[in-house]
Amino acid sequence: MKKRITILANTKRKGDGVCIAGIDQDGSWIRPVKVDGNYLEKKDLFSGNNVIIDTFYEVDIVLDRYIPNPPNTEDYKISDDTKPELVRKILTDNERLKFLDKFVDPCVEDIFNGGKRALGLVQCKEIINVEAGWCSDGKFYNTITFKDNSSKEYTLSVTDLRWAAFKKHFIKSNNLQSIQLNNREIIKLCKPESIFFSLGLARETDMKMKELIIGVFTIPDYAECKNFQDLQLMEKSINVAV
């Protein structure tokens, strides 16, 4: 079956793996996966040299069958015989905001309470803190502390490819090793009128799940609608030691 999905998550996984997810035309969350190893590969995000899968891209994807693994109840096996097709890129602030408002969940607990789903979307009431940088072992860390509409506070790791590249570029361009930005500094940097997060559960073990921010969205867009590849190329163009 072919599904038209608005991508709301394009995230880094182990090795060269990526994880994508989004909302179809019926308003349902879908995570297209491969059975072996689960993850797609970064090459699957491209057609030639062109990015065809990224956040706020509408993409037609052929799915073979439903393969739920609660709480990952949104998983569908992607067809091995076809390639996703880019339909269009949603670039206007008004259309993005309208879409996010339509599908936003009341709060984080509303998504994950009960263990029946692993994906959702929340509005950020307040960003408290953003931390990102390179550890001494070279590993990049990336977290956001925020309050949702219930005013409950969370500190979650961020796996969004666009947000990671945006932060890396900012850190390098300021000749830093790491950053810790408060609310005022984030508002100055990103100039958001509204902030939303896609959230997902990562399976650490058969019994343990970890909550993650898998998509960061601001209106207006913090990166002026550049795709993840453009942002990564900008980051890599800054040749500084980290």
Q: In the prediction, which pLDDT does 37 show?
A: 66
Q: In the prediction, which pLDDT does 206 show?
A: 66
Which helix H or strand E contains 173, and what residues bound it? helix 161-173
What is the distance between the alpha carbons of residues 212 and 134, in angstroms, rounded to a whole number? 19
The partner residues of 146 in beta bridges, in order of sequence, read: 127, 154
For residue 37, how many other CB atoms are within 10 A of its CB? 12
Low-confidence ranges of the chain (pLDDT < 50): none
Q: In the prediction, which pLDDT does 13 show?
A: 81
pTM above 0.75, yes or no: yes
For residue 237, how many other CB atoms are within 10 A of its CB? 10
User: What one-character DSSP code corresponds to residue 241?
Assistant: -
Q: Are 63 and 3 in contact (CB under 8 A)?
A: yes
Q: In the prediction, which pLDDT does 239 show?
A: 76
Q: In the prediction, which pLDDT does 208 show?
A: 80
For residue 215, how many other CB atoms are within 10 A of its CB? 27
Instruction: Phi first, then psi: give them for residue 74, nearest 5 degrees.
Output: -100, 10
What is the distance between the alpha carbons of residues 159 and 212, in angstroms, rounded to a whole number? 7
Tokens, residue 120: 């959702």
Nearest Cα to 90, choosing from 54, 124, 60?
54
